[in-house]
Amino acid sequence: MDTPAKPPRNGTSVLLGLLALIPATVLLFTGYLVPSVRTLLASFTDASLLDKPSESVGGDNYSALFDDFAESLVGPLLLAVALTFTALIGGLLLAWLAALAGRRGRWALRAAFALPMAAVGATMAAVAWLLSFESPRDLNPFLGQYGAFGALAVGLGATAFLLVLRRSPRLGDAWPGLLLVGGIITATSLAYALQSFTFPYLLRGPDGPRFGSPAMLIFDVAFRFADLGVASAGAVLLLAVLAVLGVGVAGWLIAARARVVEAAAEPAPDQPAGTSPWTAVSLVVTAVAALIALGSLVPWLTHSVSFSALPRESGVLPHLVSTWIPPLLSTLLGVTAAVLGGYGIGALRPLGRRSELLLLPFAPWLFTGLPALIPDAFRHRMEDGSEFLFLVPPASLSIPVLFGSALLFRGVRLTRALPVAGLAGLMVWVVAAQDTLWPLIAGMRPDSAPMQVVVLQTVTEFGYRGLEGGGGVTGWLYPLPLLLVIAAAIAAVQILSLDRLALRTGRDDPDDAPAAAPFPAVPAQATDPYPTAPAQPAVPTMEHGSPKDGTA
């Protein structure tokens, strides 16, 4: 039997592949590895915000913090379970029905959840939900967080499961990919919940737990109690949990030989012709789910149209610049390095079939965000001198984009992969620009503080009285026109690019063309919405045990 042709690999491709990884490796070293080591060393000292030399205290910091750290896990674990089940059940059901319905069902689902997926601004969501209640004690922070982002979880879950079901809607055939996606969703939900900060910070009431999440615990100990040594111990414990999740997911991806390929290069899924019962069922269920998702955005949309003048002489422009430009600089650097590294691993294949092993050095920090890095980042960046550069978030490398790019470039040509990479960069920018944690630490100048700081200060000053008080400035935080533009971009990339891709696991086959080489001609199928080549001679296939002509 002839073996599938391997992508050409020579000394040049090996060298270029390793060179493409250099920027990501440098950012990994400076933004994650070195800070993690310094955090570990600081956790055994009595370092503080006070200007005094630190001394070794052994393991006392861990003993003092362990009970509070364990208590701070309760709420995030419940939130992670809720988000996981929502994404798994809701996302899988909608994706399966859409896959059975064919192109109409898939496109309707992708468009229906574009708006909830654009609403990823944690600060805007938390402030909107806060202003919808008489008092912050009336809303549990994790219940509010689930209400704000449950629809987002469904949209992300449906997008991931559609990648698996794009080849075939039969669940029995796709179970390895579905299981892999389910594991990634579970790990992502847990990592997100453990590092949630904005909702616990805004919505924790006097009767609630002292520390709503590990992220809140680290922040409070570091900046309320000025104890960077104990805060570093909490950061180390959080880093350990996140490292286990990252290494586990990376190992699963490598063992499963996961990769993204063009759907047109595979046998077209069996799709009912014309309007079928599955199409009608999928459209109805998607419409109902979209209405529920829109209902969860009512607090957001209500407060996104409030553009009162800021009570500051500097006006709104300096605050908008501080909100969006520093995260843009970080995103451009980190996402560019991640995409370049992913191209080196996925397309240039410097280690051949073992190239994905190059992801392992990045794996421990796959799910690591700012909460685990802020004690060290504050200590080593507060003396940089430039207040504007201080606003640029630390740890710019987007490791999830690096992993996704490596899977994407493994089987997708560059021109088709770039829109997906661009959308990933856009979402990284929005998430960073809507973060609350770093602006609270770095945005200290009243005349140019990020909008997160301005809105939180205004809302607090007016005593949570909704639109009659602090709510009048919330529209500047994440303006509605910008939300609609980002939602349109998500829908366009989903329909025009992601819908043409599929997630594959297992051994390579002849249909998996290398990303760096032209794709072979594929027989045009009557049911394939994206024929990429003229019809070829008929190829016998089997459907439900009977021969069927494979051409139009």
- The string of DSSP codes covering 126-154 is HHHHHHTSSSGGGS-HHHHHHHHHHHHHH
Model pLDDT, residue 551: 36
What is the radius of gyration, based on Cα positions, of the chain?
Answer: 24
pLDDT top residue among 274 and 143: 143
Spatial separation of the C-alpha atoms in residues 84 and 76, rounded to whole Å = 12
Dump pLDDT digits (tens) for 402-413.
Answer: 999 999 999 899
Ordered by start, the domain boundaries in the chain are 11-34+68-300+312-506
pTM score: 0.86
Q: Which of 391, 393, 394 is nearest to 448 (CA)?
A: 391
Spatial separation of the C-alpha atoms in residues 428 and 114, rounded to whole Å = 16
Spatial separation of the C-alpha atoms in residues 437 and 198, rounded to whole Å = 7
State whether residue 540 is helix, strand or coil. Answer: strand
CA-angle at 269, arms to 264 and 272, nearest 5°? 125
- Going by the DSSP 8-state scheme, the letter that residue 59 receives in this structure is T
Q: Which of 101, 99, 100 is nearest to 275 (CA)?
A: 101
Dump pLDDT digits (tens) for 303-359.
Answer: 887 777 665 666 788 888 999 999 999 999 999 999 999 999 999 999 988 999 999
Q: How confident is the model at residue 381 (pLDDT cuts 50, 70, 90)?
A: confident
| Dihedral sign from CA coordinates of 292, 129, 455, 225 | negative
Q: How confident is the model at residue 42 (pLDDT cuts 50, 70, 90)?
A: very high
Please provide residue 313's backbone torsions phi and psi, each rounded to the nearest 5 degrees.
-70, -25
Largest interatomic CA distance in the chain: 81
- Going by the DSSP 8-state scheme, the letter that residue 209 receives in this structure is -
Asked if the model's pLDDT at residue 514 lies above 60, the reply is no
Check residue 385 and give left, alpha or beta (phi > 0: left; psi -120 to 50: alpha): left
Percent of the chain with pLDDT strictly greater than 90: 56
| Dihedral sign from CA coordinates of 147, 149, 151, 157 | negative
Question: Across residues 9-24, what is the average pLDDT?
Answer: 87
Spatial separation of the C-alpha atoms in residues 504 and 263, rounded to whole Å = 10
pLDDT top residue among 240 and 552: 240
Counting Cβ atoms within 10 Å, is residue 121 exposed (0-12), middle (13-18) or buried (19+)?
buried
Model pLDDT, residue 31: 94
Q: How confident is the model at residue 9 (pLDDT cuts 50, 70, 90)?
A: low
Counts of helices then strands in the chain (DSSP H, E): 24, 4
